[in-house]
Structure 1
Amino acid sequence: MMHRKKKAQILSLFLTVCLFLLSGATAVPAMAGGESASTPAKDYVIVALGDSITAGYEPGMKLSSVPYGYVERLKEQALFHGRTKAINYGILGLTSGGLNSYVKAIKEGKPVSADDIQAGLKDPRIGDFASGVSEAKATLEKADLITITIGGNDLLKLLPDLKNISLDQLRTEASGVMKSYGENIREVISILTELNPSAQIVLADQYQPVPKLAGVSIYDELNKVKETFTKSVDETAAKFTADSKKVKAAHIAEAFVGNEMSLTHIYSDGDIHPNQSGYETIAKVMAETIWGSYLDTAAKSGAAPISIVVKGQELKSVYAPKLKNNQTFVPIKEITNAIGAKSNWDSRKGTAAISYNGKTVVIKVGSKKITVDGQAKNTASPAFLSQVGGEIKTYVPLAVLVQGLGLDVQYSGKMKTVFINL
């Protein structure tokens, strides 16, 4: 059992970071995805609303940091089902009241000030969020999926006083916080369903990050608050579902119970945000709520250097893809068979002509030029021949080929996986 002094140290670190977050963090990640509101209708559009958990924040991040939170992982999962765009409107320090104000401003579609959203927010991007509400409105109106993770900053108001209040006081204050949260989130979803009646909305409950190490009585009481939060989320989802709205509850809180120190930064940094395992856990719960599964690839599990997923199916072949000059190359027959294209190899000219859906790409081995529908285009990735066993295979640059054929190709560096969708 850990020494009592260590327990006090962890609780002290925890309360310090709570106070820091309540004052507003200054080091934040860049907005995930960087997508604009001009997403084509053929894409499955994910829009994420919420706070720093939505943004994918972890300790030490800067404005230039690229997050890899649950939203990025949800986009990967959606790519197993088709073309996907993800737009992240996660604002650090945002409360449910702040989200309510933000969504109301989005509904109006007129720029507002940062303080109109929530006074005192120190997210460096808050000015862009406030001035970009008309773009956010257009994005939400064509979203297929809207995710909401909010409420952590509401609950944080309770935590700095844990050492100084009784359990009865904690219960009373928690009741007030949950009442306000419920009112805010119902307004938020009401506006969202008005803006976009056909979107699937997924509302997550809120994990509590304080480990049992901080004290059994506090731990048990905070878990009761967590259960109250989950009940509020369930009741909200049920209310809108009964009114024929597409709202689901995602139960992430239960997955953190007993795992607070392994799924958050609370032990190492005194920070309550999820670590990478925590964000993976949130993404799994969300994906299973949306699609009924959470998929991996051979490369993600370490069984292959790179994976290629075509129309939701991982390409399995004895002729493995090759990485060269940071580009992925594949045997031409393997990829054309997978996408249903036709290929013709001219051994005299050393060229491969690939046709699909009215488009034709001609690739010459060793050449830094390709032809797309008769138009020459430059490429820094020439095709090459490679001996595989007893066969000579023509390896072509995957991205150059599929983009020339008008297909969608997206690469996840974290999963080491290329997604190709028609």
Structure 2
Amino acid sequence: MFFKNMFSILLVTLLVGCSGLPFLNGKESAEHSKTNITRSLKKEIPDDFIPTNLSVVSVGDSLTQGVGASNEQEGYIPYLSAYLETNRGIKDAHFSNYGVRGNRTSDLLSRLQDDQIKRDITNADAVVITIGGNDIMKVVKDKFTNLTMGDFSKASVSYEKRVEKIFRTVRQYNQEAEIYFVGLYNPFGKWMSAFSELDIIMDDWNEIGMEVTNGDPNAYFIRIDDIFSASDENLLYKEDYFHPNDRGYELIAARIYDEMKEKTVETLYAKGAMNGVMNDEEVDE
């Protein structure tokens, strides 16, 4: 019954790429979240600390491209860049955006063979990935006349293999960069309770993403579904109620930063401190 009811809406949005998911209290205001992040950055940094540049490669689907953001902003990227650059230890946060609306895991695997993407990942300090929403939409499109929960379970097996290959490919190019894999969210959950089964599907597919991520000691799963399910704010783009709007992207960026500040930023601190030691030694000589 659920699957028959959801066709009319899901098929309208089939061509719309989406991927993302969980942590952050959606009721938190933009200023409040920004204040908390700024406070967390006020660590004791030595006066002779040398700020370092940060290189981040963002790959994936429409969530990386920034569909739904105003003024053609690149989704979460401007917000994440701003958060990072309020950190005194970071001189410049440079992002390479390789998000393409509608991309599935198979498309991303093909695009990872691009020479420019290879070079950028090789030189990156961190890689952020959004992918998977369009893989789920493909199941709906292919099976819309007789869609069952089993169709999603079957497709998830191949999805897991492709995500694993995405991770292996990134690691072929760069063994040291942190990988941040952003989960999936149910855009229909708040305004159409009949789509509650999608929560089960998203949970299952997010579990896959989490398991693959946990298999890499330097990779981190970023849940964002709770951002959209728990908030009283409207976090969806008003033209499709599918993609995040500016506020939605801001909260996603804050969630990613919560993890990056503990991993990538700390790594940069260590690099900057080491550079300071090396420079002191050169002066002494």
The answer to whether structure 1 residue 86 and structure 2 residue 100 are counterparts is no
Q: Which residue of 1 aligns with 2:109?
A: 100
Segments of 5+ residues of structure 2 without an aligned counterpart are 18-50, 264-285
Aligned to 2:158: 180
1:21 to 2, 16, 23: 16
Q: How much has 1:282 moved relative to structure 2?
A: 1.1
Is the CA contact 1:11–1:214 (under 8 Å) kept in the aligned structure 2? Answer: no
Q: What is the aligned-residue RMSD (CA, Å)?
A: 2.9
Q: In structure 1, how many angstroms separate the alpha carbons of the residues matched to 2:85 and 2:209?
A: 28
Give distance in 2, aligned partners of 1:161 and 1:182.
19
Residue deviations 1:159-206, cap 9 Å, x none? Answer: 4589854xxx43111112222221111101111112111101100111
Shift of 1:269: 2.7
Which residue of structure 2 aligns with residue 247 of structure 1?
A: 219
Contact kept? 2:64, 2:74, Cα under 8 Å: no
C-alpha offsets along residues 310-342 of structure 1, whole Å, 9 cap, x if unaligned? xxxxxxxxxxxxxxxxxxxxxxxxxxxxxxxxx
**2:256 paired with 1:286:** yes
- For the Cα contact (< 8 Å) 2:189–2:199, is it kept in 1? no
Q: Distance in 1 between matches of 2:74 and 2:115?
A: 27
Compute the displacement of 1:42 (Å): 4.7
Give the deviation of 1:254 after TM superposition: 2.5
Judge conservation of contact 1:143–1:199 (CA < 8 Å) in 2. yes
Task: Give yes or no for contact 1:204–1:250 (8 Å, CA) kept in 2.
Answer: yes
Partner residue, 1:43: 53
- 2:215 alignment partner AA: K
Deviations 1:260-315 (A, max 9, x none): 982213xx43341111121112111111121159xxxxxxxxxxxxxxxxxxxxxx
Residue 212 of structure 1 deviates from its aligned partner by 4.7
The residue number in structure 2 matching 1:197 is: 175
Contact 1:211 1:258 (8 Å CA) reproduced: no
Separation in 1, partners of 2:261, 2:111:
28
Q: Aligned partners of 2:246, 2:174: CA distance in 1, in Å?
A: 32
Equivalent in the alignment of 1:69: 75
2:244 aligned residue: 274
Aligned to 2:67, the other structure's residue is in SS state coil
CA contact (8 A) 1:252 1:285 kept: yes
AA aligned to 1:237 is T
Distance in 2 of aligned mates of 1:269 and 1:258: 21
State the AA in 2 paired with 1:74.
L
Q: Do the aligned partners of 2:190 and 2:229 also contact (CA within 8 Å) in 1?
A: no
Contact 1:54–1:149 (Cα < 8 Å) also in 2: yes
Contact kept, 8 Å, 1:237 with 1:248, in 2: the verdict is yes
**For residues 193 and 145 of structure 2, what CA distance do their matches in structure 1 show?**
14
Q: Write the mapping of 1:339-418 to structure 2, written as runs, cut at 5 A.
A: none
| Distance in 2 of aligned mates of 1:292 and 1:179 | 32
State the alpha-carbon separation in 2 of the partners of residues 163 and 213 from structure 1.
22
Q: Supply the distance in 1 between the matched residues of 2:133 and 2:187 (Cα, whole angstroms).
A: 10
- 1:55 is displaced (CA, Å) by 0.7
Q: Which runs of 5+ in 1 are unaligned?
A: 1-7, 23-40, 106-132, 294-422
The yes-or-no answer on 1:207 pairing with 2:185 is: yes
Report if aligned partners of 1:70, 1:282 keep a CA contact under 8 Å in 2.
yes
CA contact (8 A) 1:211 1:261 kept: no
Letter in 1 for 2:214: A
Question: How far, CA to CA, are the matches of 1:192 and 1:79 in structure 2?
Answer: 25
TM, length-normalised to structure 1: 0.48
- The counterpart of 1:154, out of the listed 122, 132, 135, is 135
More helix by share: 2
Query: How many pairs does the alignment contain?
Result: 224
Q: Matched residues, percent identical?
A: 23
Highest relative contact order (Cα 8 Å, sep 6+), 1 or 2?
2
Q: Measured at CA, do residues 162 and 270 of structure 1 come closer, stay the same or move farther in structure 2, by a change above 3 Å?
A: farther
Q: Does 1:221 align with 2:197?
A: yes
The whole-number CA distance in structure 2 between the counterparts of 1:213 and 1:253 is 15
Q: Which has the higher strand share?
A: 1
Change (3 A) 1:160 1:191: closer
Counterparts of 1:256 and 1:271, CA distance in 2: 11
Aligned partners of 1:54 and 1:89 also within 8 Å:
yes
